[in-house]
Amino acid sequence: MDIKITKTTTPKAKPTGKLGFGKVFTDHMFMMNYTEGKGWHDARIEPYHPISLDPSAMVFHYGQEMFEGLKAYCGVDGKVRLFRPEMNAKRTNDTNKRLCIPQLPEEDFVEAVKAVVSVDKDWIPKEDGTSLYIRPFIIATDEFLGVAPSKTYLFIIILSPSGAYYESGLAPVGIWIEDDYVRAVKGGMGFAKTGGNYAASLIAQVKAHDDGYSQVLWLDGVERKYIEEVGAMNIFFKIGGKVVTPMLNGSILPGITRNSVIEVCKSWGYEVEERKISVDELIAAQKEGKLEECFGTGTAAVISPVGKLRYKDDVMIINNNEIGPLSQKLYDTITGLQWGKIEDTFGFVMNID
Ligand code: PLP
Ligand code: COI
């Protein structure tokens, strides 16, 4: 892929002080167009700028769009690393297939990420717990109000120096198990990373926030009985010594952190079960003292301990609302690999320089 690079002549000041999540953007962005009959073309890196689209652009009306999320880390050795970007490239195409967006060559996805991160590598924050969040996305740009797949698209990558996703950092979060609204059903697009899934989740998230919980844990859309995933992360439990997580069933996102945590836990000798977990099973395990830990996994959330789970009138306090030993060890290991503090025997990290 030939990438034309135009650098800014007016670099912005870098942020100082505590970084939040997703509020500050770097000096450059990657862009590439798709046109039916021509394929993906005009790969370029330009100064960060607003984009201009016709009000009839299809993305505004029927939500034909996808996004990804990954991070670049500045290691303790000064090297820049990505975490399994080839999995984001593959998931992009799984999402694209579901949304009738054209396939994007996976090597081009990775090359584009590497190129734009290299141009803005001075923006990768170095403080403990920080990274450069990378947000690739594709939008449908045809000027047309009919319901059909667009024939033109824009692929864009923007970068955001970020700190912890949750205000509380590594302190355990409280999670609301939603018993009214549902997010996705099998055959729908729950497994895809597309805006519509997140739009569908907002109403329950607002309700959960109003009640003092930070995120929503979704139940399956049919029986409303089985645990699915959280708003921005997959969910794991440690029950009676075993690591348990919902199986991939088409309605949850196949998280890259989820996949990595399973591999790491197995390498430590844990029995890991990917299966259906009912909310009743959790309540019973809690009553029997077997629900030892609960944590979420995600690129933005990393490993996020859950200290409180609410379902209707049941409020389960897990591990005294403290981070458990497995959650802490996983956080240290995953971030240790990302920041180059521990040797990567899993083959997860990709150096950029
Ligand atoms: N589930 C949802 C709904 C998400 O938005 C995310 C975040 O990307 C995840 C799970 C975790 O996926 P990953 O570990 O690939 O970031
Ligand atoms: C990520 O972890 O990369 C995500 O996409 C979560 C996001 C919805 C904030």
Q: What is the 3-state secondary structure (H, E, C) of the chain?
A: CCCEECCCCCCCCCCCCCCCCCCCCCCEEEEEEEECCCEEEEEEEEECCCCCCCCCECHHHHCCEEECCEEEEECCCCCEEEECHHHHHHHHHHHHHHHCCCCCCHHHHHHHHHHHHHHCHHHCCCCCCCEEEEEEEEEECCECCCCCCCCEEEEEEEEEEECCCCCCCCCCEEEEECCCCCCCCCCCCCCCCCHHHHHCCHHHHHHHHHCCCCEEEEECCCCCCEEEEECCEEEEEEECCEEEEECCCCCCCCCHHHHHHHHHHHHCCCCEEEECCEHHHHHHHHHCCCEEEEEEEECCCEEEEEEEEEECCEEEECHHHCCCHHHHHHHHHHHHHHCCCCCCCCCCEEECC
| CB half-sphere exposure, 45, CA atoms < 13 A | 22
CA distance 168 to 213: 12
Q: Which residues of the chain have pLDDT under 50?
A: none
Burial class (CB in 10 A: 0-12, 13-18, 19+), 138: buried
Task: Give ligand 2 pocket residues (Cβ under 6 A).
Answer: 69, 232, 298-300
Task: Provide the pLDDT for residue 327.
Answer: 96
Length of the chain counted residue by residue: 353
| Cα(299) to centroid(ligand 1), Å | 6
Task: Provide the pLDDT for residue 165.
Answer: 77
Amino acid at 225: K
Distances from the Cα of 50 to the Cα of 31, 117, 125, 155, 251, angstroms: 12, 19, 24, 14, 33
**Residue pair 342/208 in contact by the 8 Å Cβ criterion:** no
In ligand 2, which atom is closest to the CA atom of 300? Answer: 2
Task: Provide the pLDDT for residue 18.
Answer: 87
CA distance 352 to 122: 13
Sign of CA dihedral 234, 239, 241, 246: negative
Q: Whose CA is nearest to atom 7 of ligand 2?
A: 232
From 83, 92, 230, 234, give the residue whose CB has the most ligand 1 atoms within 8 Å, as the site to mutate: 234
| Cα(60) to centroid(ligand 2), Å | 21
The two tokens of residue 307 are 């200290």
CA distance 92 to 96: 6
The structure's pTM equals 0.97
Which residues are CB-neighbours of 333 under 8 A, at least 6 positions away? 264, 342
In ligand 2, which atom is closest to the CA atom of 133? Answer: 3
Instruction: Give the number of the ligand closest to the Cα of residue 297.
Output: 1
Which residues are CB-neighbours of 24 under 8 A, at least 6 positions away? 15, 160, 161, 162
Burial class (CB in 10 A: 0-12, 13-18, 19+), 344: middle
From 299, 303, 304, give the residue whose CB has the most ligand 2 atoms within 8 Å, as the site to mutate: 299
Distances from the Cα of 112 to the Cα of 35, 116, 208, 292, angstroms: 18, 6, 37, 42
